[in-house]
A and B are shown apart, each in its own frame.
Chain A
Amino acid sequence: MARLFLPALLLATATLIAPAAAQEELEGVVHEPARGAEQGPQQPAPNPEAIQIGLSTNRVTITADFSGADLTIFGSVDNSDPLVARQGRYDIIVVLEGPAQDIVVRRKDRVLGVWINLHSETFTNVPVSYSVATTRMPQDITDTDSYKRLSLGADNLHIEPLDRDGNPQTIEQFRQALRDRKAAAGLFSMRVGGVEFLSQSLFRASLPLSPSVPVGTHKARAFLFKNGVFIKESSAQLSIVKSGFEQTIYRFSTNHGPSYGILATLLAVVTGWLGRIVFRKD
């Protein structure tokens, strides 16, 4: 099986590398190892690089004292070219993307001196959170076109409005506001230098989990770049759950609302009664 796949992979790698290699030549940058790869499948090329990531846990539990955390992801670059690695021309971007959700962005405007929500725009399938960790400044890794193609980075996410017929300028404003608010809430984040190479092929990424991190299935994706060219992607899943007690309360409140309300009421009555017995002063 592996033998059958190999040529196909080589071909794919070559096609991916070729256009970017041409661009590098235009910029006058000469990368010997890249040249070797670009000669195509005819020449006996080195094995293509691959990337693997592993999570130390595939489940993060939010407990009562949760106030944010750092998630560490380990990974390796297989078949890495020692020369390229030494020159630090492998770059990795790791993204942790939360579950998708529809979201309403509202804008306040001044009416008679009072700030009131007047306009709103609904966007569909927006990831609740989106954290990025990179080896270097994003603009040093690859060009904007590549980021767009991969829809990589908060600015390149496809955030589609529910109503596509709206004024594109307004939609863009609201889209930008959505990114800003998400960033302000710590849900969209970017950590330059968050990915570090531990050895020639081993790397570690650390991503922040905000205190208000949404529960659900998150997807971790790692993108490998070589000389500014996207090589490969690898992904893993992470589920973020509330711990037993918090989860029980949350589930109970959503699935059995009325009983939950009665429980809350009884709790209040008992607390009021006990409070009077314990603290009474009259």
Chain B
Amino acid sequence: MGIYLPIAELSVNLFVLLAMGAAVGFLSGMFGVGGGFLITPLLIFYNIPPAIAVATGANQVIASSFSGALSHMKKGTIDFKLGTVLLGGGVVGSTVGIYVFTLLRSLGQLDLFVSLLYVALLGTVGGLMLVESVRAIRRARDGAAPTLKKPGQHNWIHRLPLKMRFRASKLFVSVIPVIGLGAGIGFLSSIMGVGGGFIMVPALIYLLKVPTNVVVGTSLFQIIFVAAYTTIVHASTSHTVDIVLAFMLMIGGVAGAQYGAKAGQRLRGEQLRALLALLVLAVALRLGFDLFVKPQSIYSLATPGF
């Protein structure tokens, strides 16, 4: 059944959208990520213009993050203070990102930049995660005890000034890296249409040494607001949020996420991470492939000013 998207101004198959949303929702529930990094490339593969895919992706991320954050709020695994500081940086980063987005779009380089960012980030994160999880799987097989760094251990980040205490995370750390991290992810959110959970979670764990139990909840909490801000600004400046498209994805997404979360509980942590890493790498490869292969037509049309 076809459905006409009023903003993208094209007709697409309703069931493809629902299935896409459900599949990504299932994976996001399983791995505890927002799924924006999968939705946006999938929409681009489905011939939705990248500008619309990115802005609509951000809108869809709000639904899945909100759904996820609710369950964390109930369990009390959100550090609101840390989330708010991250959010402050996020708003700044997102504003810069929107500006760069509009600029690149008028130069005709948005598609390239989005693809490059995806390939670079997904490639790096996926590669690192794969290496780490394969090691963990090997160690578990050998029966050796996992050698995690002690939470008390400090690195250069902990020597920066302007320290602040985050009680829920049992953390006393400078606000500079926190705001910087928030800003970097806000920037990516507005350009790539992602929530940034797949970078935020490892960064909070490995860089800031936030306890693992509050990481996902806190990350989801701040993603809701950054994605909401990104959506509103995209809607105001570039008019590229397609509410019909977003809604179809959300419906599939929230349903899939709850089932995915259940399925995720049956798999072991490191196996889950290895699977996610393979998935992330596959998306990166597919996008990278398109950059290097001669396009079907080297010419493309666009409206000036956009």
Instruction: Collect the chain A residues with CB atoms within 8 Å of residue B67's CB.
Output: 272-273, 275-276
Who on chain B is nearest to A215 by CB? B9
Picked from B2, B254, B303, the residue with its CB within 8 Å of the CB of A271 is B254
Instruction: Collect the chain A residues with CB atoms within 8 Å of residue B239's CB.
Output: 253-254, 257
Interface membership of A148, Cβ < 8 A = no
Question: Bound complex: CA of A238 vs CA of B300, how far in Å?
Answer: 28
Q: A273 to B243, Cβ gap below 8 A? A: no
Interface membership of B96, Cβ < 8 A = no
Instruction: Collect the chain A residues with CB atoms within 8 Å of residue B59's CB.
Output: 264-265, 268
Q: Using a CB-CB cutoff of 8 Å, which residues 251-272 of chain B contact chain A?
A: 251, 253-255, 257-259, 261-262
Q: A261 to B301, Cβ gap below 8 A? A: no
Question: Bound complex: CA of A107 vs CA of B63, how far in Å?
Answer: 38
Q: Chain B's nearest CB lies how many Å from the CB of A141?
A: 29
Q: B297 to A271, Cβ gap below 8 A? A: no
Interface membership of B62, Cβ < 8 A = yes
B interface, how many residues as a size bin?
35 or more
Interface membership of B42, Cβ < 8 A = no
Instruction: Collect the chain A residues with CB atoms within 8 Å of residue B237's CB.
Output: 257
Please, what's the 1-or-0 string for B106-143, where 1 marks a CB less than 8 Å from any CB in chain A? 00110110000000000000000000000000000000
Q: A275 to B255, Cβ gap below 8 A? A: yes
Question: Bound complex: CA of A107 vs CA of B298, how far in Å?
Answer: 5
A interface, how many residues as a size bin?
35 or more
Picked from B4, B70, B235, the residue with its CB within 8 Å of the CB of A253 is B235
Question: Bound complex: CA of A110 vs CA of B298, how far in Å?
Answer: 10
Interface membership of B294, Cβ < 8 A = yes
Q: Using a CB-CB cutoff of 8 Å, which residues 175-232 of chain A contact chain B?
A: 177-178, 180-182, 184-185, 211-212, 214-215
Q: Chain A's nearest CB lies how many Å from the CB of B305?
A: 9
Q: A102 to B304, Cβ gap below 8 A? A: yes
Instruction: Collect the chain B residues with CB atoms within 8 Å of residue A180's CB.
Output: 297, 299
What 9 pairs across the A-B complex have the smallest Cβ distances? A275-B254, A261-B235, A261-B232, A272-B66, A268-B62, A257-B236, A177-B299, A272-B67, A272-B63
